[in-house]
Structure 1
Amino acid sequence: MPLYQKISVDSNSVILIWKIAESFNNLFRAVVLKDNSLARLEGMKSESHQKGFLAVRMLLQEAGYTDFDLYYDEFGKPHLKDNKNISISHSYDFSVVMLSDKNIGIDLELRRDLIKKIARKFAAEAFVYECENNSAEFISKLTVVWGIKEAVFKVRNEVGISFKDHIFTKPFEINHSKTTALLDFIDTKQEFMVHFAEIENYTLVWLWEMNS
């Protein structure tokens, strides 16, 4: 299918969302891949991951780029050759790309009951306790927090960062659709402006460094 949604964050930042309805073959025929991307694609065991990978390349084409404009550094962080900042996420039926002049991170997660079982591994006890006492928003809030921590890590993917011990979120309400986050790691204290939205059964989180 064509582009599912475009979110204009500001004059220099945009989010592109692709809902994956095509077959693998249709997606594969629609993009051109460099050799190392083709090798990476062939090494993926899951067709879902393969289709998500190809859908990201469809989004690049929507934005005027190709796979040849995209490269990854030694930490696995994506970059564009023209120095535009890019962040990428994929979850089951959707792939998303954010482009900006700011230092950005984006994450997309399917909302699932499973997150309740692992909540104490990434969220503060007080936050989990609060969510448990508001069951209607329990999964939604925890999914936002997980997405925030994933997105922050995509911005500052340094060895040793703990989701629970080093990335913190300011209390928020789901209907406010925004909050702030803090990375406090060794000699780094970086604040992030956070926005989030629900798209079908998924939670989308995007953020940027507040001094970028």
Structure 2
Amino acid sequence: MAIAYRQRIDDDTEFALWKIEEEADDLYKQLKLDDDEKAYVEKLSNGKRHLHWLGTRVLLRKMLLTDEYIDCKVDAHGKPYLVNLPYHISLSHSFDYAAVMISKTHKVGIDIEQVKQKVERIAGKFMRPDELAFIDPKHKIEQLYVCWCAKEAVYKCNGEKEVSFADNIFLEAFSFDAPGQLNAHLHKKEVSLHYNVGYLQYEDYMIGYVKGSI
């Protein structure tokens, strides 16, 4: 499968989606991995987690237009980064899709989620009362997913652990209109950051994406 969707944010920043229709072996053949990565892949069970890991790496290679080895590591906070290429990256996946966002100049964050009714049951865990108050009943499920994806994208862009979606990431009121944008703020101790988050619905998936500070 080729890239299913691609969107350029600016001259140095873009994201793309890959629909995972291949078998694991077909994805594996498209990658160059070091011994540690090969050992990690071998430990993954042959399920969605396996396909997601492979799919995000294949998509990353396609977006960077390289057949060379990509040294992609994960830092102490779980944020992926590239050792040998001058890009900030963010990876996400959900069911049949992998998502990757890259930028030469800015930190980035992306999240993709399949839209399901269950989000309503857990909304109180990641939303504050004033945020729940601006949810439009006509688009409740979709707008809740926008909020989740926005907070997850901000969390990934910031790249620090121990950040609470409810207590540290705040969303300004917005009307659901996919594609659309909303304002988000991250406050924790001395850290205070503002983000403009983009979102869109692709098939039955919601995507939130954000470009952070340089």
Q: Give the TM-score normalised by the residue count of structure 2.
A: 0.91
User: Does the residue aligned with 1:4 lie in a helix, a strand or coil?
Assistant: strand
Q: Does 1:111 align with 2:115?
A: yes
Q: Where in structure 2 are the equivalents of 1:34-183 lying within 5 Å? A: 34-45=34-45, 47-62=47-62, 63-65=64-66, 68-80=70-82, 81-100=84-103, 101-131=105-135, 134-175=136-177, 177-183=180-186
Q: Which position in structure 2 is the counterpart of 1:13?
A: 13
**Conserved? CA contact 1:20–1:94, under 8 Å:** yes
1:66-91 CA-to-partner distances (Å, cap 9, x unmatched) read 55332221222111122311111011
Single out whichever of 40-49 and 179-188 deviates more from structure 2. 40-49
Which consecutive aligned stretches of 4+ in structure 1 deviate over 4 angstroms post-superposition? none
Q: Structure 2: where are the runs of 5+ without partners? A: none
1:24-65 CA-to-partner distances (Å, cap 9, x unmatched) read 221122222222222222222351111111111211221224
Q: Which position in structure 2 is the counterpart of 1:28?
A: 28
Tell me, in whole angstroms, the C-alpha distance in 2 between the residues paired with 1:21 and 1:53: 14
Matched letter for residue 26 of structure 2: N
**Conserved? CA contact 1:34–1:68, under 8 Å:** no
Tell me, in whole angstroms, the C-alpha distance in 1 between the residues paired with 2:59 and 2:17: 7
Tell me, in whole angstroms, the C-alpha distance in 2 between the residues paired with 1:130 and 1:86: 31
Tell me the matched-pair count: 209
User: Does the residue aligned with 1:164 lie in a helix, a strand or coil?
Assistant: coil
TM-superposed CA distance for 1:16, in Å, is 1.8
TM-superposed CA distance for 1:10, in Å, is 0.9
Q: Give the TM-score normalised by the residue count of structure 1.
A: 0.92
**Conserved? CA contact 1:57–1:67, under 8 Å:** no
**Conserved? CA contact 1:181–1:193, under 8 Å:** yes
Tell me, in whole angstroms, the C-alpha distance in 2 between the residues paired with 1:77 and 1:178: 24
Q: Does 1:205 align with 2:208?
A: yes
Change (3 A) 1:194 1:25: same
Matched letter for residue 180 of structure 2: S
Identity of aligned residues (%): 28
Matched letter for residue 99 of structure 2: V
Tell me, in whole angstroms, the C-alpha distance in 2 between the residues paired with 1:159 and 1:49: 22
Q: Does 1:188 align with 2:191?
A: yes
Tell me, in whole angstroms, the C-alpha distance in 1 between the residues paired with 2:117 and 2:39: 35
